[in-house]
């Protein structure tokens, strides 16, 4: 329990440091998460397909770079990647179950590489670093409050996919997201104040308000984000059940693997990006 707490605390501080730095450190962070998560998914599936595995790794490496430098639009990149994955079916016609294997590789690519790379697009928006921090604090709050409520009063099971989750935990996750959105201005001020003492960051304490009061919009957005975060968690749980495994790996002692830690972010980050982009368009 102590080692889990120490690793968790160190991980949060390290991530906040990376998010505040942004740019190249964020690109490197994205590369690490995507590459390791891609490997974890292949290991869970027990796939021994070197031809497709190599292609998945190549795409996992290239995708953050494409997003970071804006080399191609999403549609063009998806088409190019699809052709890149399906080439083995043409060159190696005797590969067993080639259609299934190429489909799995493309799923791996979209689910991990594409979705997580949206963190780099989110950074390019106004207040990008703050939006990234907001996204992860929303996820951490949802997880923490869900765990706390589930442990204290959880009685009604929420999903057969993940039996440990309860309806009470879901309510706790909603409360965690609600409070984070409402008081994010104070949270980001506290974080930037602490990190402003690190000269290499060259930042100053700043207050970025999302909501200044409790409102219908706040409740609606909190409910929506809670459901997205839970769906991201359940989706990865479903994958693990399919492959009959408890954790994606044991790389993060007591915390499972990278895919276990970043499963909700694969859904939340793209959704936050789309919501912000939609709001920008509506305000024009």
Q: What is the pLDDT of residue 253?
A: 72
Whole-prediction pTM: 0.93
Using CA atoms, how far apart are residues 256 and 144, in angstroms rounded to an integer? 16
Query: Are 204 and 129 in contact, with CB atoms under 8 Å apart?
Result: no
Residue for token pair 């804006």: 70
Segments of the chain scoring below 70 in pLDDT: 1-4, 47-48, 92-97, 159-161, 254, 283-284
DSSP-H helix ranges across 109-183: 115-123, 128-153, 167-182
- Give, as one character, the DSSP assignment of residue 247: S
Q: Is 245 left (phi over 0), alpha (psi -120 to 50) or beta?
A: beta
Query: Are 263 and 41 in contact, with CB atoms under 8 Å apart?
Result: no
Q: What is the pLDDT of residue 283?
A: 66
Q: What is the pLDDT of residue 4?
A: 66
Q: What is the pLDDT of residue 246?
A: 86
Q: What is the pLDDT of residue 48?
A: 66
The domain tally of the chain equals 1
Name the residue range of residue 239's domain: 2-283
- Whose CA is closest to 16, among 158, 134, 126, 98? 134
CA dihedral for 125, 130, 136, 141, sign (positive or negative): negative
| Residue 68 tokens, joined | 């970071």
CB hemisphere CA count around 254 (13 angstroms): 10
| Residue 49 tokens, joined | 């397909």
């Amino acid at each position: 329990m102590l080692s889990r707490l120490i690793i968790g605390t160190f991980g949060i501080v390290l991530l906040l440091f990376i998010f505040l730095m942004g740019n190249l450190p964020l690109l490197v962070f994205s590369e690490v998460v995507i590459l390791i998560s891609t490997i974890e998914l292949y290991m869970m599936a027990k796939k021994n397909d070197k031809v497709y595995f190599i292609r998945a790794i190549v795409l996992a490496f290239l995708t953050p770079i494409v997003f970071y430098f804006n080399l191609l639009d999403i549609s063009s990149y998806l088409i190019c990647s699809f052709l890149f994955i399906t080439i083995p079916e043409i060159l190696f016609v005797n590969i067993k179950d080639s259609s299934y294997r190429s489909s799995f590789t493309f799923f791996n690519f979209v689910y991990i590489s594409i979705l997580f790379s949206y963190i780099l697009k989110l950074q390019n928006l106004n207040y990008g670093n703050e939006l990234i921090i907001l996204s992860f604090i929303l996820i951490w709050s949802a997880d923490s409050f869900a765990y706390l409520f589930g442990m204290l009063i959880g009685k009604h099971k929420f999903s057969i996919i993940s039996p440990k989750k309860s309806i009470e935990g879901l309510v706790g996750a909603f409360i965690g997201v609600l409070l984070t959105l409402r008081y994010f201005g104070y949270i980001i001020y506290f974080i930037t104040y602490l990190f402003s003492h690190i000269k290499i960051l060259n930042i100053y304490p700043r207050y970025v308000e999302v909501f200044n009061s409790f409102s219908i919009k706040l409740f609606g957005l909190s409910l929506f984000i809670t459901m997205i975060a839970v769906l991201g968690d359940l989706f990865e749980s479903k994958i693990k059940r399919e492959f009959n495994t408890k954790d994606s790996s044991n790389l993060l002692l007591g915390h499972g693997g990278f895919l276990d830690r970043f499963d909700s972010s694969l859904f939340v980050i793209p959704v936050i990006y789309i919501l912000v982009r939609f709001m920008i368009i509506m305000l024009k």
